[in-house]
Chains A and B, each alone.
Chain A
């Protein structure tokens, strides 16, 4: 191989590798759920709450649109505000998870709410929750019940 050919070959290889890398970069959202936990609930038919951090490491926005679980009749996303010491809670129609960003669900803020629990939620129990994202689709996670 001539020297010039060698150079050309090397340049071409580099170009190909770069192209491959670009192609492999996750297109669309990349959802990752961490630190999921739920609060114990003392009454059957009562309510419960779960918290977690939802990361989107991808290049496209996503949105948590709904959740289901076999522990309660309904699962909803709620948020609350505190104004002049008055707590106002309200239902959300979903939680946005922008690209390269994360949503933190934590006490005193956004949370997954279980309504009409079939059983009490007790410390140590692990429940399964399926989250439905607009683009990523369904993600099933395990949520440990523990004291805050």
Chain B
């Protein structure tokens, strides 16, 4: 594995990388994101944890400007979203692979990179090496395994060296060995100054994050480092901690008993 060019290190004391102010999104009666407030300093990995349907994807879509909020404000790098110009500093790995099955690995990567203005072939090749698809550059995406498609999808999100990276369930279908490599790379990116917001519904990935946001029913139940959340919930198990913040077992209609921001 080779490290690729690092994003520009953010100036200390600058605006938070990701910020939400009273962010709310409803679809008719259903409130998908309910009054979320967060302020995430740059250079760290944030884990967005919650069960399926808790509003993780909608929250990411609001933060990337793909959806417009019903009320409230989302800012990335200090710029209110949606902002098309700001998107060149943002990477987004969608939950579905979002790649073109007819195109080869290389064609997919160069296409998305070109939209960000990234046409440096040597650098794009390093990105492929990073996800270990350099031997598959000419393979049509349709012929890749599920894990390989996931890796290609990640390469497409990282090719332009974004400062803020949203990864929606990036490790689904990725085998454990590669998952470890993914996380190692996430940490390298963060060390180089990038901010990562990784959504997951798998708690065993949570410990790899610098900070966690528990989300349920569109609300942020708690925010803190894994150790901090454990001690506040009085348990060694993050899953138990999540349930204690949720105020009851998953699936019950219990609302947040405590919201820490």
Partners in one complex: no
List the interface of chain B (C-beta within 8 A of A): none
List the interface of chain A (C-beta within 8 A of B): none
